[in-house]
Amino acid sequence: MVPASFPNSGGVGSALIQSNDTIERVDVVSKNSQANGVTSIIQGGTFRDVRFFGRAGGRFGYALGNTAGDACPNAQYALVADDVTVRDSSIAITADCPKVEAKVTDLITRGVGNSIYLQGGAKMTVENALSESGDGSPIQVLNSTDDGDTELRASHVTAIATGDETAPAIHARVPNLTLTDDVRIRIDSSAFVGFASTWFAEAADDPQKGDSYLEISYSNYAVPGTKTGNSYVTAGPGNVDVAPRFVDAAAGDYRPAPGSSLIDAGQPTIDPPDADLAGNPRPVDGDGDGDGSAIPDAGAFEYQPPAPTCETDPALCPDPPVPDTTKPKITKVKFSFKRGKRGSIRLNLSEPASVRAVLAPLPKRGKRKKVVIVRKSAKAGSFALKLGKRKLSPGRYRLTIVATDAAGNVSNPLVRKVRAKKR
């Protein structure tokens, strides 16, 4: 936690100065209006799962990186930034030391002036980065000292103009001084959305001074850019100007939606990172043809097609059920009834079925008896149809039993002559 003020350094200060340490699962919070985060990384370091943000009006000047200038070491070191989130900062990741090579993966910045800032002969690679821009260019590379070329290699970047739309997404600059070293930027498999121009490359119009070089390929952007002096821009293969479709850009969800122009639009001949910014595998076969040919998507996120279903892949459909054409069978019928006592019709079923028993009185002189019908659903095996003690009048009946199974198969009628006895 950076307090609101320091007793020295003009009341500004930094959260941490370190040398070749490993910092993991840490929040770096500023209550100071101008503080730096973790800077002067003169011998490299490793930062994983680290978040930088302000609180109570606080913010950072530089959040993470090497601003050592003349304090660069003589030996070669590495700065590793993996799974880093930065907001409330002027600059997110910075490097200005040629002896500390920086590798940045899985970077998220929101409302930051410069997400990536290089100078002084620094070298940096960036993979999987999302920038919701602030007041500045998400990527700015310049040369301010003759310590070698300043070089950036970036792939799978999604930059959204949520702040100053007039600022270019990429700014390459060699000041018009006596410098002789160059700025070199290579970008592929990326998407730049909403910017008035994608790049601005500037250098002196003097062959004795440093030049600006920008190569961009397999990327999605609407408006190219401009250049001045000895600046050279190569718009390589695979670039498109087709509005990408995101899952929900208004809610900050910049994953490609089905049908997005970002799908399978990345650099096809260079191995991409194994996972995207969300941790999902990259590349995957995203065009839906199921041929197993996986081309990486442009941008920070890889489209993850839904799992195939029976509707989309008939091979996954279960075999249709075999029609049931077997009739149920009724066996072992036993009838018993005495007036005033309960009776039953006992039988065996070959399968679950609905049973219907009809007791039709046989012709006899005297009062005509009524037809009695009894129904019941039963499982396979032995069961009984109950007859109430006043269900039948004494006499002879024709008993007809029929069973119908769930498939609608009807048994052969079973007919018996039975007698309902007196008490």
> Residue 362: inside a domain, yes or no?
yes
Cα distance between residue 141 and residue 153, in whole Å = 11
| Amino acid of residue 20 | N
Q: Which pLDDT belongs to residue 341?
A: 85
Q: Where are the beta strands (DSSP E) in 238-329?
A: 246-248, 253-256
Q: Which pLDDT belongs to residue 286?
A: 73
> Residue 226: inside a domain, yes or no?
no
Q: What is the mean pLDDT of residues 219-243?
A: 95
* CATH number assigned to the domain comprising residue 401: 2.60.40.2550
Instruction: Give the pLDDT band of residue 100 (cuts 50, 70, 90).
Output: confident
Residue with tokens 């003690």: 389
Q: With contact defined as beta carbons under 8 Å apart, do 63 and 92 qualify? A: yes
Cα distance between residue 267 and residue 265, in whole Å = 7
Q: With contact defined as beta carbons under 8 Å apart, do 333 and 401 qualify? A: yes
- Beta bridge partners, 30, equal 2, 54
What are 19-42's pLDDT values in tens digits?
888 999 999 999 998 888 998 777
Q: Which pLDDT belongs to residue 70?
A: 54
> Residue 126: inside a domain, yes or no?
no
| Amino acid of residue 132 | E
Return the closest-CA partner of residue 204 out of 175, 183, 180, 225.
175
DSSP H or E run through 150? strand 150-160
> Residue 85: inside a domain, yes or no?
no
> Residue 316: inside a domain, yes or no?
no
On the question of pLDDT at 190 being above 80, the answer is: yes
Q: What is the mean pLDDT of residues 322-341?
A: 91
Cα distance between residue 259 and residue 114, in whole Å = 31
On the question of pLDDT at 366 being above 60, the answer is: no
Task: Work out how many domains the chain is built from and give that number.
Answer: 1
> Residue 398: inside a domain, yes or no?
yes
What single string gives the DSSP state of each residue in 206-235?
-TTS--EEEEEES-EESS-EEEESSEEEEE
Per the structure, the complete domain to which residue 407 belongs is given by: 330-420
Q: How far is CA 163 from the centre of its chain?
A: 25
Cα distance between residue 157 and residue 221, in whole Å = 12
What does the mean pLDDT of the chain come to? 90
> Residue 135: inside a domain, yes or no?
no
> Residue 371: inside a domain, yes or no?
yes
Instruction: Give the pLDDT band of residue 197 (cuts 50, 70, 90).
Output: very high
DSSP H or E run through 401? strand 395-404
